[in-house]
Structure 1
Amino acid sequence: MKKTFLICILTALTACGQKKESNTSAVAAKTDKNNLETITLGGGCYWCVEAVYENLNGVTAVTSGFSGGTTKNPSYEEVSSGATGYVEVVEVTFDKTITSLDEIFQVFFTVHDPTTLNRQGADVGTQYRSVVFYRNEQQREAAQNIISELKKAQIYANPIVTAVEKFTSFYKAKDSHQDYYSNNKNQPYCQMVIQPKVEKFEKIFKDKLKNKQH
């Protein structure tokens, strides 16, 4: 684990932006499919996590859905019961020439609380648990190493409970749940829960935003 990652996390948690060289111009380049990677992350309500990653430079697609259960084609209502084993997650696809797995994790551990078991704020239940669903050994090792280093550095006051589990399946949520924050910014939940996370992300990672103004 690089020291710079821990510095970034420390900076993020103290809400002080760390200026980095912007590579926004790279977005204009045609994306080579060989440079794309996908990881599945659960960090509370998927609307919150989706809204953040949609604005990270280098991310080419974010899809809200469900992972971690065994039944086929679970509905939102079924998952919300907390009895299916499924987690609200986002599939994040990113261009490795623009961003990196480390940066994806930096954002992940900044915008959600990895120390609260089966909850994020007022959203309570196993469907809101903190989890990384890895798709290859590189992702598994990276996630475990990051968690280990964060624990050693005592970044958080409470123990990290983020699980690292092998990806098995993903079921996309219905269309009305995609781009939810963008389409429903005036909704109370968006204003009270999602917007503060987005604003925190935009402040800390201001040089990593899509369409950054120079």
Structure 2
Amino acid sequence: MTPNIIKIGFGGGCHWCTEAVFQSVKGVEKVEQGYVTSTKSNSGFSEAVIVHFNIKCVTLTTLIEIHLFTHKSKSDHSMRGKYRSAIYTFNNTQHEDVVQLLKGFQIEQDQKFITQVLLFQFFEPSRDDITNYYYKNPKKPFCETYINPKLKVLLQQFSEHVDQDKVIHLKA
């Protein structure tokens, strides 16, 4: 891995949705879809992605902001065990940076984020047949119902960070 490529984990809703969002961002080199565990009360598997990104092309701040505003980061529900709203960090320095960034974003919000900052523990990749789900199946009902609205938010709020070639069909 090159020195400019670092990784961070994100969990929110379905990993198909999270994967599609981050696959559409300029500077993201790779998105691994699967199931992540953390420690203590968050040691159970939860759907998530590991995002490998080039820090010369996109910042951690931008990725966290995209994450917070493309899933229900302020709403708790009964499926939060399977769909934990979280940012998974890979070392203590990154963990502290993310905690501070999340506090900064919280200042501008009326409602509290439920997104947790957790230490990454373990990753189990998804089966190959369900990875890259959106870009293999953009016309499937799940994609049109759940993923397209998130990609439209991405286009509307973060257009300068979107790989326009990947989301061209949403503009039509």
| TM-score of the two chains, using structure 2 as the length reference | 0.86
SS in 1 for 2:35: strand
- Aligned residue in 1 for 2:96: 141
- Aligned residue in 1 for 2:31: 62
Question: For the structure 1 residues 118 and 136, does the alpha-carbon distance in structure 2 shift closer, same or farther, using more than 3 Å as the test?
Answer: farther
Q: How does 1:43-54 map to 2 (within 5 A)?
A: 43-54=12-23
Would the aligned equivalents of 1:118 and 1:126 in 2 still touch at CA under 8 Å? no
State the percentage of identical aligned residues.
26
What is the Cα deviation at residue 203 of structure 1? 2.0
2:144 maps to 1:191: yes
SS in 1 for 2:44: coil
- Gaps in structure 1 of 5+ consecutive residues: 1-31, 71-83
What is the Cα deviation at residue 134 of structure 1? 0.6
- Aligned residue in 2 for 1:106: 65
User: What do you get for the CA RMSD once the two structures are aligned?
Assistant: 2.0
- Aligned residue in 1 for 2:160: 207
2:130 maps to 1:161: no
The one-letter code of the counterpart of 2:46 is V
CA distance in 1, matches of 2:120, 2:86: 11
CA distance in 2, matches of 1:41, 1:194: 16
The one-letter code of the counterpart of 1:33 is T
What is the Cα deviation at residue 41 of structure 1? 0.8
CA distance in 2, matches of 1:162, 1:40: 12
Aligned residues: 163
- Aligned residue in 1 for 2:76: 117
- Aligned residue in 1 for 2:11: 42
Q: How does 1:74-113 map to 2 (within 5 A)?
A: 85-113=44-72
- Aligned residue in 1 for 2:85: 130
CA distance in 1, matches of 2:117, 2:137: 31
Cα deviation, 1:89-116, whole Å, max 9, x if unaligned, reads 0010001111111111111111112112
CA distance in 2, matches of 1:152, 1:69: 26
Would the aligned equivalents of 1:69 and 1:87 in 2 still touch at CA under 8 Å? no
- Aligned residue in 2 for 1:18: none
The one-letter code of the counterpart of 2:88 is F
Question: For the structure 1 residues 151 and 106, does the alpha-carbon distance in structure 2 shift closer, same or farther, using more than 3 Å as the test?
Answer: closer
SS in 2 for 1:90: strand
- Gaps in structure 2 of 5+ consecutive residues: none
Would the aligned equivalents of 1:118 and 1:128 in 2 still touch at CA under 8 Å? no
CA distance in 1, matches of 2:151, 2:114: 23
Would the aligned equivalents of 1:40 and 1:89 in 2 still touch at CA under 8 Å? yes
Question: For the structure 1 residues 140 and 69, does the alpha-carbon distance in structure 2 shift closer, same or farther, using more than 3 Å as the test?
Answer: closer
CA distance in 2, matches of 1:55, 1:152: 27
CA distance in 2, matches of 1:42, 1:51: 13
